Chains A and B, each alone.
Chain A
Amino acid sequence: MTDLLISMGLSPAASKITMLLAQGTADTLYMVLLATFISIILGVPLGVILLVTSKGYFWYSPRFYAVLGACVNALRSVPFIILMVAIIPFTKMLVGTSIGTTAAIVPLTVSTVPFLGRLVETSLKTVPYGLIEAAESMGTPPWKIISRVLLPEAMPELVQNFTLTLIVIIGASAMAGTIGGGGLGDIAIRYGYMRFQAGIMLATVVILIIMVQIAQLIGDTIARRVDHR
């Protein structure tokens, strides 16, 4: 690859940096997309459980809701950088190592699931209660109320939630990079901070900004498309 860039007229040094940034971007994308995906897989059910056990919903359970809610809040109040270090044993247990992009996915996910869970709970609450009652009046079982009423009706908000989660994870992944997580954050620290290569630092920042912009754009577009209200 580097040779190809050189043959295209780039200086050897520039080619190397380009390759470095490309690799960093790929690593970051891998971390971010996988962490977002897993966060959605876990965060949506968490949000649903929070909602349906809260007051006024069909599996209302004040104790359960209080305990789960407290756990969620506790996890949310731990700063990411501390969480990342604190759960190293857990990360090792899960992926065998605490260093590298795959390992970084674990703390990224752990920190965003409770965050997304709350967002999902709040979004589902915006579904008018009358819709749930109408479904009940038609003999809809609770889990179908969730899958056919609550989730589809809240889809525009949910898509916004997912977008926000993705963006938060992009930010956090850069942080994860600084302590051995790999990706653009890692490059920014190693070249920009330790070797004073401001150009590289700037390049990583620009790439991150572009990523966030694209994420927001795609998210907004999808949210608009699924909104029929």
Chain B
Amino acid sequence: MIRLHNIHKTYVLDSGRQVQALKGIDLEIRDGEIFGVIGLSGAGKSTLIRIINMLERPTEGSVEVNGTELTSLNDAQLRAERRRIGMIFQQFNLLSSQTVSGNVAFPLLLERHADKSKVRERVLELLKLVGLEDKADVYPSELSGGQKQRVGIARALATDPKILLCDEATSALDPKTTASILRLLTSLRKKLGLTIVIITHQMEVIKECCDRVAVLDGGLISELGSTLEIFSTPKQDLTKRLVSAAVRRDVQDLLEHLKVHEKPEEGDALALELLFLGEKANDPVIVEVAERSRARISILGGAINHIQGQPLGNLVVELAGAPEVIENALKMLQEKVFRVTVLGYAAKGGQNHD
């Protein structure tokens, strides 16, 4: 469990000017979850994650990790505590002077009476865990970005921490490698019971693997919720922007071109946006409603996005028929579908494109 309470961080620049990077963060990250923090550049993401292992001391507030209040520890105690919190970085930060196994062994060899053969054994075990057992004796300069990050992960997990902090860990990688690293993190979470904190500016990363996400804006958390919630019902403008950049554009484009009016005229169809969540996205709801209500339902467009592998479906439909029939169908849809948004009435005959 990571508990941040009323975290403020103010940097004082050489010029004497103060920069308030964090302005009062309250956050609880549960054991075993993958928690994402997203925000624009300069929002304070790196500052926030670095406060969790006290690479950065907060100006104010408390940091509780694994039940220990970190702000009250002395340097030696803090070092001991840090061995229970792993961290990986955007630039990997591997030692170029050490081989892969040397890098992974680094935290293990800090222990006073490290047993060399045990260390070697543990290193190989870790390399196997990240799928690099054949690279033990090469230098990092010979590895690809994704492989370097795997070494970083193995090194971060060497001391068997229960928490892994990832600061833009995939930002230097191409989309395919990013996906493979995120898959690795997800599988490690399960295998090792890790709590993972992911800092990113890529909504794709959140969408792929986070259980919950906090949106950081100007040093404050502007929105927090499950990833599915954030993607399905973003509230703040910033969140909406971030989400719309990461989901399939089909529905958005359709909505922008759809011509509707508020007052129904004789014979108008009712345009709706339907949102399906999780398993329900696959149910034959539309067919069922059409059959039972006798409304004529035409599908204008739709898209399915996968959030952590779970489907999140958007569908834009028009209901046509007698007013009572439309009303009845609307009611039925509202019962079955996660969210129904009434867009307005469209002239009969379907949509009018520009």
- Contact indicator B82/A148 (Cβ below 8 Å): no
CB-nearest residue of chain B to A129: B93
On chain A, the residues within 8 Å of B53 by CB distance are 137
- Contact indicator B96/A229 (Cβ below 8 Å): yes
CB-nearest residue of chain B to A134: B93
Which of B79, B97, B155 is within 8 Å of A153, CB to CB?
Answer: B97
B11 to chain A, nearest CB (A): 13
- Contact indicator A139/B89 (Cβ below 8 Å): no
- Contact indicator A133/B97 (Cβ below 8 Å): no
The residues in A between 128 and 187 inclusive whose CB is less than 8 angstroms from any CB of B are: 128, 130-131, 133-141, 144, 148-149, 152-153, 155
Kindly state whether residue A22 has any CB partner on chain B within 8 Å.
no
CB-nearest residue of chain B to A141: B79
Kindly state whether residue B10 has any CB partner on chain A within 8 Å.
no
- Contact indicator A138/B93 (Cβ below 8 Å): no
On chain A, the residues within 8 Å of B91 by CB distance are 128, 130
A18 to chain B, nearest CB (A): 45
CA A226 to CA B96, docked complex, whole Å: 10
How many pairs of A and B residues are in contact by the CB < 8 Å rule? 67
Kindly state whether residue B13 has any CB partner on chain A within 8 Å.
no
CB within 8 Å for A137 and B110 given contacts A128-B93, A228-B97: no
CA A148 to CA B109, docked complex, whole Å: 10
CA A135 to CA B155, docked complex, whole Å: 11
- Contact indicator B141/A228 (Cβ below 8 Å): yes
CA A76 to CA B325, docked complex, whole Å: 94
CA A137 to CA B53, docked complex, whole Å: 7
What 1/0 flags go to B43-84 for Cβ under 8 Å of A? 000000000010100000000000000000000101111110
A103 to chain B, nearest CB (A): 39
- Contact indicator A149/B95 (Cβ below 8 Å): yes
- Contact indicator B82/A139 (Cβ below 8 Å): yes
B314 to chain A, nearest CB (A): 41
CA A136 to CA B91, docked complex, whole Å: 15
- Contact indicator A152/B93 (Cβ below 8 Å): no
On chain A, the residues within 8 Å of B76 by CB distance are 141
On chain A, the residues within 8 Å of B95 by CB distance are 131, 149, 152-153
CB-nearest residue of chain A to B98: A152
CA A148 to CA B106, docked complex, whole Å: 9
On chain A, the residues within 8 Å of B20 by CB distance are none
CB-nearest residue of chain A to B83: A139
Which of B94, B98, B159 is within 8 Å of A138, CB to CB?
Answer: B159
What 1/0 flags go to B242-270 for Cβ under 8 Å of A? 00000000000000000000000000000
* Residue among B76, B91, B165 with max Cβ neighbours from chain A (10 Å): B91
On chain A, the residues within 8 Å of B86 by CB distance are 137
The 5 A-B residue pairs whose C-beta atoms are closest, nearest first, are A134-B93, A139-B79, A139-B82, A137-B87, A152-B97
17 A-B pairs besides A138-B159, A144-B110 with CB distance below 8 A are A130-B91, A133-B89, A133-B93, A134-B87, A134-B89, A134-B93, A136-B82, A137-B165, A138-B83, A139-B78, A139-B79, A139-B83, A140-B110, A141-B79, A141-B110, A153-B95, A228-B96
Taking Cβ atoms with an 8 Å cutoff, the residues of B that contact A are 53, 55, 76, 78-83, 85-87, 89, 91, 93-98, 106-107, 110, 139-141, 155-156, 159, 165
7 contacts between A and B (CB under 8 A): A138-B106, A139-B81, A139-B107, A140-B110, A152-B95, A152-B98, A228-B139
